[in-house]
Structure 1
Amino acid sequence: MRDMIQNACILLTNFQLHSCLPKLMAETLLFSLAESLIGKLANRAVEEASSALGVYGELKQMKATMTLIKGVLLDAEQKMSQSSALSEWLRQIKHVFSDAEDIVDDFECEALRKHVVNTYGSCSRKVRRLFSSSNPLVYRLRMAHQIKDIRERLEKVAADRNLFGLQIIDQDTRVVRVREMTHSHVNPSNVIGREHDKQKIIKLLLHDVHHQSLSVVPIVGMGGLGKTTLAKLVFSDSSIQECFPLKMWVCVSNDFQLRNVLVNILNSAPNPTKEKFKNFDTEQLQNELRNKLQSQKFLLVLDDVWNEDRARWDELKDIIDVGVEGSKILVTTRSHSVAAMMRTKFSNSYLLECLSQEHSFSLFVKSAFEDGEENKHPELLEIGKEIVKKCGGLPLAVRTLGSSLFSRVDKKEWEFIRDNEIWNLRQNEKGILPALKLSYDQLPSYLKPCFASFSLFPEGTNIYGSWVTRMWGALGFLPPPKEHESMVDVGKQFLDELWSRSFLSDYIDFGGDCHFNLHDLVIDLSVYIAKGEFEIIYPRNLNISEFAQHLTLMDNNMPRRALLPTSLRTVYCPNGANTEAFLNTLVTKCKYLRVLNLYSSEFESLPRRIGKLKHLRYLSLSECENLKRLPDSVCKLQNLQTLKLGGCKRLEKLPKGIRNLINLRHLVITTRQADFPEKEIASLTSLESLYICCCDNVESLFEGIQLPNLKILNLSKCGGLKSVSFHAIKNLDVLMISKCGRLELSMGLGSQIPDSRFKLIFLDDLPQLVTLPQWLQGSLNTLHSLRISDSVNLEELPKWLSTMIHLKSLSIENCPKFLSLPDNMHHLQHLRIVGCPELCKRLQPEVGQDWHKISHIKQVTLLNQKKKTNFQKNTVKS
């Protein structure tokens, strides 16, 4: 009877939640779109192009009407849950604004096309032919007709705004205050109230019961309790590292297909041969895994398990149980049924409880205030205690709400959170956590589209910042960068802001890039916010909203059975897209695409018609190993900002005319050609980052050219590369060199490169590296991070390194000959030494002979042996 009542309450709660909140949340992203669009209409290139076509007056009037509508959008956003008519009005605005954005972007395309023709057309008949437009008169009439239609629709919805009694709010006053970043997967000092739980689970894992070869310990609890965080604390504990020579971590989520789980387990284990398991069949996978597990006691973490099919679990368990006594599987799950099914005969589930009020309040204060600042605001602390009570002991709820109030001292803002009506709702097992929804509501409007884009990533995805920020830039979610900034810098600021609100987990800043995870409840919220506009399409559910603009397609054959909306802006295929019919449909039907990610597809070539996608700004063909050629029409994509060809090992050469991609900012190249087109690349004045990988036939780079605007250079796996002219790239911020064994690292320079300004240097797997090259001294006042790994002949770091006063982070991994750090490294804040056994002995706390050199450093990691402790997720494949 009690279960029946409980189930009825959950159903009622779910109905209340989804009927009280708006049915379509995508309209809340309108204010940011309006701001972006009005800014574009004021763009000089748009004004010039529209004047040339005689429609400047129409656009000016359109801008004025949009400004009127924008003025009431923030008020409408707050009131939309009270009126279905208001929600419908916002839906109409969304459609007309999207159509208007396509028109404005068309003018930007026209301006870029003319710039290319004017730059290269006078001396190249081919360029004039490549970029020849359709009949100018027809184009002018078509644009004039479309603008007139947009203007009339805008005027109608603008007139309707008076029906709702909306107030004019021109400025979004919500701001984000960013706190200092951290550099750790899970910092124990940031986890409150879980030490007792940690010790209990460690005891369960270290205790061998009845000589079992394999036992399972499930951690069970509702979403937001911190099960994964607790598992990470256990996983990283020194006693666990000593007991289990082999540790593996796999995020399972909804994917319990045997083959996929086996691949992820193997990918999380040490892999000295760099084997790519994705090409193995299931029989090969299970043999490989059993061979790896047979020789040592292991700990396997299966994080976020939902599978309730006993047959699937038994099938996996039979493969894993290889008879090594004392091996353990640690499981995190929300489901008691899953825990009961998976646990072994003598093991019990560990039920994780909510935080106590005392611990919840401590976590809230730590999130909402700088250290010690809370004592200045006793009145806010009293309100905070009431807010904490409403969070029900869920750490995720406490942390996100505390973070949303960080450094805010206005009593009314705290009272607004405490008294909000959303607390009258309750979370069900897969519902929206009210505290997270409140934290989202407090985001400034410019961050909301970025947050909504997280709905494109399946649960358990490990996301790299460079991919997501370039996607945001391609979709127009980022404002234009300021002077001396790049679009990646702007995107990184947005990520920092979202991290400061506790929406991102395991945020690690590498200097040149960062990566993070998303809690599944955060993804649930983003899916709810973006429903109808951003969607993941699985094979079992082919229903695509007619208004969808951004799609992740999980089945590479799915498009043959699904209708693709013509309004699509984003198509992301993490598992590849392997039918030519699909690609032809995309380039023919979806002419407004901005982002096209065809990772690991099987095409040998692309259709020439891809050059028709004039709005395309992001094209990724990474790891398309069958790709042999690109049509020259790719170079008609003058709007393109990102082109990724990394891992295209059969690509014979780059297309002719790559210099025409005048808007290109990020370029990744793998090619077989030896005559590298560096002069054409030097013509790409917007280029900010260049990645050259697996180009074994290239012997020298950048002779006689300049790349003054390049900020990031990555040279990887170029086995034939011997020389690089660093005078061509002295304005770099980030330099990464990996697996280029023939490269002369001194670059022929006897001393430093004057005026260089490196901020991050990463040197990996370079047997020729004995000490740092002299030219690095030129970055005396700028170098922030230095990372060296797998360089077996590295013996020392030069004494002058201690004079680099801005060097905050130093990481040396798997360099066995490296024996000593320089003296006087007083400015260092983060030190990581892994796989350097002799040096680790000398640096042991209190007793090591060189301990005095590092005793002042805030964060120190010392590991004698290189331990693989990555928490295996599905990585965003860009």
Structure 2
Amino acid sequence: MAEMVVSMARSMLGGAISKAASAAAAELSLVMGVQKDIWFIKDELKTMQAFLGGAEATKNRDMLLKVWAEQVRDLSYNIEDCLDEFMVHVRSQSLRKRLMKLKDRRRIAIQIRNLKTRVEEVSSRNARYNLIKIEASMTSDKEVSCIEDVRNHSASNTDEAELVGFRKPREELIKLMDVNTRDGDAKVICVVGMGGLGKTTLARKNLRKQLLGGDSLKNLLKELEGKVVQAKDLAEYLNKEIKDKRYLIILDDLWTIDIWRWIKDIVFPNSNKKGSRIIVTTRDVGLAKECTIESLVYHLKTLEVVEATNLLLKKSRKIYEDMDKDENFKSIVEKLVKKCGCLPLAILAIGGILATKKIVEWEHVYNQLPSELESNPSLEAMKMMVTLSFSVN
């Protein structure tokens, strides 16, 4: 009986891990401030899965283990239910609908944080009662590798905003924004480029860290939790809050000019003459030119080959000396950079995988990359890339 429960729990974890990976990759998780919590849940679940695999391999099953496995199984059900609802919100394309669901977002964010606490409790219970003992001599290389993969993946999740490739664009964009000007109408700056270039990272992480001080819009939105039921109410509230303040607002991944006009007309006060800045990121050059004048459109480009190589090496925790010592390693690095099209997002995703792999395994990872990524870095190819970063074993 215990054997069946352990097997079922391990199987259930696979689905929960997959959904956690998709949820963590969703931009909405960053907006809601739960991305790190979801990453933590995913990594802890992978560790649990590895331990349960070890328990099956060593025939180490008893009543305490059965109870713990049941808790893991039930936790997996709850995580899947919560993340299913979260992904419904992710797939909502209507800005109005997104603005009207602040109360739902808060509720889901609380659920995710509560699940994180439960994951911590279940994980610590295993350590506290020493439920699973895996003798070194009885543990297969694959099981050890699986556990190490989880630990290394967490260690390699460095802040991509601090990595190479963003310094020059950040400096150029700050210069374009002319942040020292503290009067006049709000200035709109558009960052335009294909998916995977790092527009969101540049705007949200780099610029916000460099420029923001004082009140955060997030703090303003907290005051609305449970109160706003109409997008119009939110727009009026924001207009009132920022009309006498110098503000920096980032509109990420704008798709249509109609949405821009709606936001611009309703939210941004015409009377504000404090030199505020609005940053818009988009993939549509035409839309960018509709939002602002040509001189304020910043075209984000792919990384230079040297920058892309630096980024891949740093993310995978390797150095140039490794390439100098090993021609085969140098060759696979060059092929990976080329296959990724020098796109930061693709390189970061693959670098995270490679940090957990031996160099002899890099060719296997390369062979699994979507072939169309290099010649046509479409959204679907990028999705395949991100999905791969969570599925390669």
Using the size of structure 1 for normalisation, the TM-score is 0.27
- CA gap of 1:344–1:45, structure 2 versus 1, over 3 A, is same
Contact 1:246 1:297 in 2 (8 A): no
The aligned counterpart of 2:389 is 439
- CA gap of 1:246–1:340, structure 2 versus 1, over 3 A, is farther
- CA gap of 1:38–1:206, structure 2 versus 1, over 3 A, is same
The aligned counterpart of 2:152 is 178
- CA gap of 1:284–1:410, structure 2 versus 1, over 3 A, is closer
- The offset of 1:331, in angstroms, is 1.4
Q: Does residue 291 of structure 2 align to residue 313 of structure 1? A: no
Contact 1:219 1:349 in 2 (8 A): yes
Q: Does residue 169 of structure 2 align to residue 222 of structure 1? A: no
For 2:245 and 2:236, the matched residues in 1 are separated by: 16
- CA gap of 1:47–1:301, structure 2 versus 1, over 3 A, is closer
Contact 1:247 1:298 in 2 (8 A): no
Which of the residues 171, 177, 183 maps onto 1:205?
Answer: 177
Greater C-alpha radius of gyration:
1
Root-mean-square deviation (CA, aligned residues, Å) is: 4.4
For 1:48 and 1:417, the matched residues in 2 are separated by: 36
- The offset of 1:269, in angstroms, is 4.5
Q: Following superposition of structure 1 onto structure 2, how do residues 322-721 of structure 1 map, counting pairs within 5 Å?
A: 322=269, 323-325=271-273, 326-341=275-290, 343-345=291-293, 348-370=296-318, 374=322, 377-379=325-327, 380-406=329-355, 408-411=357-360, 413-420=361-368, 422-423=370-371, 426-443=376-393
- CA gap of 1:384–1:328, structure 2 versus 1, over 3 A, is same
- The offset of 1:287, in angstroms, is 3.8
SS at match of 1:316: helix
Which of the residues 62, 68, 78 maps onto 1:44?
Answer: 62
The aligned counterpart of 2:241 is 292
SS at match of 2:278: strand
- The offset of 1:330, in angstroms, is 0.6
SS at match of 1:315: helix
Contact 2:369 2:385 in 1 (8 A): no
For 2:318 and 2:280, the matched residues in 1 are separated by: 35
Contact 1:423 1:434 in 2 (8 A): no
For 2:166 and 2:219, the matched residues in 1 are separated by: 27
Q: Which amino acid aligns with 2:310?
A: S
SS at match of 1:297: coil
Contact 1:216 1:331 in 2 (8 A): yes
- The offset of 1:414, in angstroms, is 2.2
For 1:346 and 1:422, the matched residues in 2 are separated by: 35
For 1:392 and 1:382, the matched residues in 2 are separated by: 16
For 1:47 and 1:278, the matched residues in 2 are separated by: 42
For 1:361 and 1:284, the matched residues in 2 are separated by: 48
The aligned counterpart of 1:452 is none
- The offset of 1:365, in angstroms, is 1.1
- The offset of 1:35, in angstroms, is 4.8
For 2:190 and 2:237, the matched residues in 1 are separated by: 26
- CA gap of 1:179–1:43, structure 2 versus 1, over 3 A, is closer
Contact 1:364 1:402 in 2 (8 A): yes
For 1:435 and 1:345, the matched residues in 2 are separated by: 34
For 2:172 and 2:65, the matched residues in 1 are separated by: 67
SS at match of 1:355: coil
For 1:178 and 1:346, the matched residues in 2 are separated by: 45
Q: Which amino acid aligns with 2:62?
A: R
Contact 2:153 2:356 in 1 (8 A): no
- What are the superposed Cα offsets for residues 240-262 of structure 1, whole Å, 9 maximum, x if unpaired? 34xxx6675xxxxxxxxxxxxxx
- CA gap of 1:337–1:42, structure 2 versus 1, over 3 A, is farther
- With 432-441 and 292-301 compared, the bigger mean Cα shift is at 432-441
Q: What 5-or-longer segments of structure 1 have no aligned partner?
A: 1-24, 50-168, 249-264, 444-878
Q: Which amino acid aligns with 2:198?
A: G
- What are the superposed Cα offsets for residues 482-524 of structure 1, whole Å, 9 maximum, x if unpaired? xxxxxxxxxxxxxxxxxxxxxxxxxxxxxxxxxxxxxxxxxxx
SS at match of 1:304: coil
- The offset of 1:352, in angstroms, is 0.8
- Matched residue pairs, number? 267
For 1:339 and 1:226, the matched residues in 2 are separated by: 17
Contact 2:341 2:377 in 1 (8 A): no
Which of the residues 207, 218, 240 maps onto 1:234?
Answer: 207
Contact 2:153 2:353 in 1 (8 A): no
- CA gap of 1:48–1:180, structure 2 versus 1, over 3 A, is closer
- CA gap of 1:178–1:284, structure 2 versus 1, over 3 A, is same
- CA gap of 1:434–1:171, structure 2 versus 1, over 3 A, is same
For 1:295 and 1:398, the matched residues in 2 are separated by: 42
- The offset of 1:197, in angstroms, is 1.2
The aligned counterpart of 1:279 is 227
Q: Following superposition of structure 1 onto structure 2, how do residues 58-137 of structure 1 map, counting pairs within 5 Å?
A: none
For 1:371 and 1:36, the matched residues in 2 are separated by: 34
- CA gap of 1:339–1:269, structure 2 versus 1, over 3 A, is farther
For 1:180 and 1:438, the matched residues in 2 are separated by: 17
Contact 2:190 2:288 in 1 (8 A): yes
- The offset of 1:393, in angstroms, is 0.9
Contact 1:213 1:321 in 2 (8 A): no
Contact 1:363 1:399 in 2 (8 A): yes
- The offset of 1:436, in angstroms, is 3.4
Quick one: percent identity of the two aligned structures? 26
- The offset of 1:373, in angstroms, is 6.5
For 2:380 and 2:324, the matched residues in 1 are separated by: 39
Contact 2:303 2:343 in 1 (8 A): yes
- CA gap of 1:351–1:385, structure 2 versus 1, over 3 A, is same
For 1:432 and 1:297, the matched residues in 2 are separated by: 36
Contact 1:391 1:435 in 2 (8 A): no
For 2:288 and 2:332, the matched residues in 1 are separated by: 38
- What are the superposed Cα offsets for residues 513-568 of structure 1, whole Å, 9 maximum, x if unpaired? xxxxxxxxxxxxxxxxxxxxxxxxxxxxxxxxxxxxxxxxxxxxxxxxxxxxxxxx
SS at match of 2:188: strand
- Greater relative contact order (Cα 8 A, min sep 6): structure 1 or 2? 2
SS at match of 1:218: strand
- What are the superposed Cα offsets for residues 423-446 of structure 1, whole Å, 9 maximum, x if unpaired? 356542344445434433423xxx
- What are the superposed Cα offsets for residues 44-76 of structure 1, whole Å, 9 maximum, x if unpaired? 349999xxxxxxxxxxxxxxxxxxxxxxxxxxx
For 1:276 and 1:207, the matched residues in 2 are separated by: 29
Q: Does residue 250 of structure 2 align to residue 301 of structure 1? A: yes
- What are the superposed Cα offsets for residues 605-664 of structure 1, whole Å, 9 maximum, x if unpaired? xxxxxxxxxxxxxxxxxxxxxxxxxxxxxxxxxxxxxxxxxxxxxxxxxxxxxxxxxxxx
- CA gap of 1:171–1:340, structure 2 versus 1, over 3 A, is same
Decide which structure has greater strand share. Answer: 1
- The offset of 1:234, in angstroms, is 1.8
For 2:157 and 2:364, the matched residues in 1 are separated by: 33
- CA gap of 1:432–1:285, structure 2 versus 1, over 3 A, is closer
SS at match of 1:202: helix
SS at match of 1:219: strand
For 1:378 and 1:317, the matched residues in 2 are separated by: 55
- The offset of 1:201, in angstroms, is 1.2
Q: Following superposition of structure 1 onto structure 2, how do residues 797-876 of structure 1 map, counting pairs within 5 Å?
A: none
Q: Which amino acid aligns with 1:198?
A: R
Contact 2:313 2:320 in 1 (8 A): no
- The offset of 1:288, in angstroms, is 2.9
Contact 2:157 2:352 in 1 (8 A): no
